[in-house]
Amino acid sequence: MKEMYQKYINEEPKIEKAKMIGVFCLMIVIAGIFGFVYEYIFYYFNSGMTTFYWRGGNFLPWINIYAYGAILIYLVAFKYRKKPFKVFLLSLIVCGLLELISGYVFYTFFDGWRGWNYNDEILNFGNIGGYICLRSVVFFGISGLLLIYGVIPLCFFLANKLSKKAFLILSISLISIILIDDLYNLIFARIIHTPRAIDIYKNIGIHYMEY
């Protein structure tokens, strides 16, 4: 295992293209779940440790912006995996920009809608317009380290241990379930006027935080 990890750090990954698709699928699924768990815990403390809030707009515990961030981190920082501090800084910068730009666009072009608002949160030092703060970007930097040195090596390990067929069935099935959930709540439910996850969860008494 140690030798395999050292090869991951020091050599270009030797993995066929089909399995690489599976690696991306698993990475996206894990990143979105990781983001949900982080926000679920953080907003519990933000509420004064009184209430757990469901976050994200899906039925499943997955938040899509964390998946987008993981893709950006991979594209920008993976080739620098020999240099952890550079991975940290690049992850901090690209995800910070993603959050800042996304927050501004949502608020400006969607009638003041916010998916998050650091104006109303704890530990919001360096807050800019409620879109971004120091705590959030530092967390993104740490998350980038976890992704490059933990999640992606795990995905490569599974890709190498499982047959191509088994690995692709696993990874594509997982991401298909997630994306169907996400697309339904983002697009289709609005078109066909059916309840979204947010509506159903509120109706059954699950606490849902939105701005």
Contacts 24+ apart (CB under 8 A), 35-38: 35/62, 35/63, 35/65, 35/66, 35/67, 35/69, 36/61, 36/62, 36/63, 36/66, 37/61, 38/66, 38/139
Q: Which residues of the chain have pLDDT under 50?
A: none
| Res 162: pLDDT | 95
Taking the C-alpha atoms of 197, 200, 205 and 208 in order, what is their torsion angle to the nearest 10 degrees? 30
In contact, 187 and 39? CB cutoff 8 Å: no
From residue 50, give the alpha-carbon distance in Å to each of 55, 57, 198: 16, 22, 21
Distance between CA atoms of residues 190 and 204, nearest Å: 20
In whole angstroms, what separates CA 150 from the centre of its chain? 15
**How many CB atoms are located within 10 Å of the residue 145 CB?**
17
Token pair in block for residue 206: 């699950």
Phi, psi of 128 (to 5 degrees): -120, 105
Residue range 103-138, pLDDT digits in tens: 999 999 988 888 899 998 999 999 999 999 999 999
CA nearest to 115, candidates 35, 50, 190, 34: 35
Residue range 172-181, pLDDT digits in tens: 999 999 999 9
Token pair in block for residue 116: 């998050």
| Res 28: pLDDT | 97
| Res 173: pLDDT | 98
| Res 186: pLDDT | 93
| Res 149: pLDDT | 97
Place of tokens 């992704």: 147
| Res 210: pLDDT | 66
CA nearest to 139, candidates 123, 119, 117: 123
pTM: 0.93
